[in-house]
Amino acid sequence: MGRGERDTVARGARLYEAAQAVVDDHARAVEAARAALKPINDAAVKRELDAIPVARLQDVTEGRLRLGSVEKSGLRTVGSVLEAGPYRLRQIPGVGQRTADQMLAAAHRLSEAAHETVAVHIDVDRPEPSTTVLVTALHVLVEAGPDARRAVDKAAALSERLGPSLADARPAAGRIRMLLAGQEKKARVSAAVTEVRALVDEAEQTDLPGLLAQTSVDLLRTPASDVAAWVDFELRSAEYYSLLAEISGRQPDAAAAEGFLPDEIAERVRTQHLDDTHRQVSLRGYQAFGARFALAQRKVLLGDEMGLGKTIQAIAVLAHLAAEGQSHFMVVCPASVLVNWTREIEARSALRVMVLHGPDRHYAFADWKGRGGVGVTTFDALRGFPAPGGGEVGLLVVDEAHSVKNPQAKRSQAVAEWTEHCGRALFMTGTPMENRVVEFRNLVRMLDGDVADSLGERDALAGSVAFRKAVAPVYLRRNQEDVLTELPSLQQTDEWEELSASDEEAYRDAVRAGNFMAMRRAAYMRPEKSAKLDRLREIVQEAGANGQKTVVFSYFKDVLGVVGEALASELAEGTAVFGPLTGGVPAGRRQQIVDDFAGVAGPAVLLAQIQAAGVGLNMQAASVVVICEPQIKPTVEHQAVARAHRMGQVRPVRVYRLLATGGVDERMVRMLEAKTRLFDAYARRSAVAEATPDAVDVSDTELARRIVEEEQARLGLTDERVTAVE
């Protein structure tokens, strides 16, 4: 054994130490989060037990306990019984050792149940020392990202393989020991050295040492400040809650997370491998199951309720198939979400994405055919592209699939043709389809004709055993309340829209006039071709289909008028539209409008001017909020959202901010984020900021002037007047 063997052992030892360090660093980071979670969880359990009357112990013991004297002694809740303990209980007249033991055993059973079910909610508007410690601990793991989990898994697998071989190879590091060793031992050491060399070479070829080193650095890095951690939590709350659910070990009911699929299908899905090589986002358990379902069943309809991350699940499927060697994918969606799809794919994966839309779409399609990647197109544009050959497209994704439920429509026929020529298809819709058997069957027929034929009218009752069994091979739907055990109370989404040609014309006119306020509302001024309005309709219609109420905010009265007319003519029968609630409506009347909105059974829409409704009104009946345009004062936007997201809101609130690419919206978002993100996030947690939105906002006039000048320069327009800032 010479220097080469000694070097191999040394390299192996360094790699093994690095792998072990990553595993240990990750374990410490997880333990820090668990330790931070425990007192918060314990306090939540105590509140739960302190609210349970002592009479509930009768239910647990099937009525065997007599609790009258216990209540008379002042112990009126299960929490007080646990706090009292056996000695205090035995001092109560009529309570002996056996009764005390039975009471405590019953109380402990309720305590265990509370520990399993209580959910921790992180209140971003009222940070406390304990929640700050938790958010800071979670921040380390969230910031390290999916690469950290990937590195930990690889490090653990490498340690398991490398450890034994390295132990057998260590004698090669000592010359004298090898000289004295027998032939059998030398052969064993030589084989171990060969194995160590192979493992080290394999690791270095994939740059695993670099990944391990970076992960250790990431796991040891703390946030710059508590404020930075809280700001990051606001921006990525879903990722924090996903980690929180994983760390707490409190997973949703397995049957609900798996969509109540039959055992044989669920088992096939569970065993489906899911490759994360090209994915740059972590998945919740139910999301991973959804991606596996699409892979295992090949052609499916994912019908998860809005807010559960259908797009993320689709990206996970795309990333897996890309890792398997597939090169071409197609996403078909409404024009209103085209930009969102491209941004999500770019942000959440390492896949190449191409927009196949607009006047140059045929050139872009030819480029996609030649180079591959994820093509993103619209239903109408798809009709102009030739259907692929067999095996050419690895996956066809159809978003808002309920849009193609009519088999007579040309867009439906184009989707059906593409689906037939693709080996895999993933249809997605958040609109519940179970009660619309005819429409549902039309969608399913594109995926599996046999399943479609098995759906009879008698299976129309949603949730019926016959229906679930019949559609199980192709259909998966989960609801928020079933799968989000640690429920994010507020989910915020920026919806980026590409302006239509008509929108662009209206926008150019406003820029030419130097009218900043006209620029901000130009996207709604030609409603028949408005991209933002199209997306707003879709959001409201989907919320209504799920029985949810929606508040639509805008700064502008005329925008609310356009929105009201559009919704009144297109919403499903029985969906009431209230408002608009504007500054001209007397204060007493405003509250009456809100009360009427809240009092309606089922879906409803409230239109409200953001500065008129942002303070003093409680709109917690709404679980969906749409903001028509970004606000000059971010605090006004925060306060408006807080009208719905506040004490008494029992459902999570989903906030959509409608933004147009390439113009005033994008410039406003970028400027305001750069100038006020950290300061605003800190300052608005004070009473002053809550009472006075102007306290932390940049100058309206200066912001408007800069944006108008930049837009005039970008569009080649020379009029430099700035009007209508206020």
Q: What is the mean pLDDT of residues 122-137?
A: 86
Per-residue confidence band for 366, with pLDDT thresholds at 50, 70 and 90: very high
Per-residue confidence band for 99, with pLDDT thresholds at 50, 70 and 90: confident
Q: What are phi and psi of 427, to 5 degrees?
A: -90, 145
The model's pTM: 0.64
Query: What domains lie within the chain, and their CATH numbers?
Result: 1-250 (no CATH), 251-483 (3.40.50.10810), 490-714 (3.40.50.300)
The pLDDT of residue 698: 44
How many CA atoms does the CB half-sphere of 424 hold within 13 Å? 24
Q: How many CB atoms lie within 10 A of CB 630?
A: 21
Residue 360 in tokens? 């140059």
Peptide bond into 473 cis (omega under 30): no
Residue 467 in tokens? 């229906």
- Segment among 141-145, 369-373, 638-642, 714-718 with least mean pLDDT: 638-642
The pLDDT of residue 517: 93
Summarised one tens digit per residue, pLDDT across range 45-69 is 998 899 888 888 877 666 566 777 8
Per-residue confidence band for 503, with pLDDT thresholds at 50, 70 and 90: very high
High-pLDDT (> 90) share of the chain, %: 44
Is 569 within 8 Å of 561 (Cβ atoms)?
no
The pLDDT of residue 718: 67
Contacts of residue 262, defined as CB under 8 A and 6 or more positions apart, other chains included, come to 468, 469, 472
Residue 589 in tokens? 């009347």
Between the alpha carbon of residue 264 and those of residues 449, 450, 470, 474, the distances in Å are 21, 18, 13, 14
Structure-derived torsion over alpha carbons of residues 668, 670, 672, 673, reported in degrees to the nearest 10: 150
For 301, the 3-state DSSP assignment is strand
The pLDDT of residue 697: 43
Residue 444 in tokens? 């399913």
Summarised one tens digit per residue, pLDDT across range 585-641 is 876 687 788 888 888 888 899 999 987 764 445 566 788 999 999 988 766 777 677
For 658, the 3-state DSSP assignment is strand
The pLDDT of residue 225: 84
Q: What are phi and psi of 659, to 5 degrees?
A: -130, 140
The pLDDT of residue 654: 87
End-to-end CA distance of the chain: 83
Summarised one tens digit per residue, pLDDT across range 551-584 is 999 999 999 999 999 998 777 666 789 989 888 8
Summarised one tens digit per residue, pLDDT across range 409-445 is 999 999 999 999 999 999 998 876 655 678 888 999 9
Q: How far apart are CA 601 and CA 60, in angstroms?
A: 36
Burial class (CB in 10 A: 0-12, 13-18, 19+), 162: buried
